[in-house]
Amino acid sequence: MHDIKAIRQNPEGFDAALALRGLSGMSAEILAIDAARRAKITAAETALADRNAASKQVGAAKAKGDEAEFERLRKLVGDKKAEIAALEEEAKAEDARLADLLARIPNLPLADVPQGADENDNVEIHRWGTPAAFDFKPKEHFELASVAPHMDFETAAKISGSRFVVLSGAVARVHRALAQFMLDTHTDENGLTEVNPPVLVRSEAMYGTDKLPKFGEDSYQTTNDWWLVPTAEVPLTYSVAGDILDEADLPRRMVAHTLCFRSEAGSAGRDTSGMLRQHQFEKVEMVSITKPEDSLAELDRMTKCAEGILERLNLPYRTVVLCTGDMGFGAQKTHDIEVWLPGQDAFREISSVSVTGDFQARRMNARFRRAGEKKPEFVHTLNGSGLAVGRCLIAVLENGQQADGSVVLPEALHPFLGGKTQITTEGVLK
């Protein structure tokens, strides 16, 4: 949510920041609604003062026996009461109109975010590892002889429809091992607190984390107004909604492994082969709550946490800063980490780490109080994948593939697989 006071103070700057996102200026419309709202409030306050003054004069007129003045003042009090109620209702309507408009406007990019229209204008800032040189044409994950029997899209379609998968056997175990490895690394080495949150959340939680109203069609809603989480960002971030935290409690760093659900609205025809883009998937999600002055350093720290997972798995990747035209709705700045997939001969996103500033905090009224200060301030929130488990599975399978269709597994996973080091051509862990 945007600060209306900041828009009043610098409408030109607000419009210029929106232009970087490819949007037309909106300050004039916003300030017109704000002015109408404030005018109604002022008018209601004036009418209230008139009513109070008249109320005081009613008794005096009655005591003097001035019946005409008494009736005039009594009618005035009644008229002012009705006028105040109408003005307050109109102000309330303008306030709701303003809040709805502000809730649909994306966050403003930070000054150092590269300008651009789409993913082609993103800027690479880091690269790690060298893609393996295969002496055969590498296959995509679902084509591998060791994987195909244990990655069943037909049965999933029978159960649930398209964009679902049933994993079994060795592939299911490697998938589970990856999530366990990520959680243990983040909690034991990166200092995050593990949380096991609900994956059904209220509309308020979706709104507070900027998923509503704009992206309702991208998520699944139950008949009793719960939402299936698109990512654990929603419950983890919303856990501080309405709170005033102590400065000493920040930063608050959390991690969760959950199922995630997305309708993939608008993605028809994209990544339909394999399990790259699913309606149901698993992610290990990181969320940090920080003081404003610490959030950019936290963005870098969280990015390194996600990168470290890939390095431990020996998976080549690159990190890019998203340009203004490719950033997500709530982000001020985003680092995308893209893992190398030899089957596609391309880098594909496996993590997005974003700082939102106080954009979400304002929506959910999450604040903190500095030591010795009385007035609380809004916290800053950050979120990032650490990592998408299914996409990490794809990368492990494709990068470890052998000519016979077997898969050599990363050493970091061996302890989580009972010492097993590969998936044989027959699809067995060995």
Annotated active-site positions, please?
Answer: 262, 277, 349, 352, 391
Crossing angle of helices 27-64 and 11-20, rounded to 10°: 140
C-alpha torsion 391→392→393→397, nearest 10: 110
| Residues 6+ positions from 156 with CB-CB distance below 8 Å | 164, 165, 166
Separation in Å, CA 67 to CA 54, 70, 378: 15, 5, 57
The tokens describing 318, both together, are 């690159």
Q: Is the dihedral of CA 288, 290, 295, 297 positive or negative?
A: negative
Nearest to 316 by CA among 337, 340, 336: 340
Cα 353 to chain centroid distance, Å, stands at 10
Beta strands at 346-357 and 380-388: parallel, antiparallel or unpaired: antiparallel
Helix (H) or strand (E) holding 382: strand 380-388
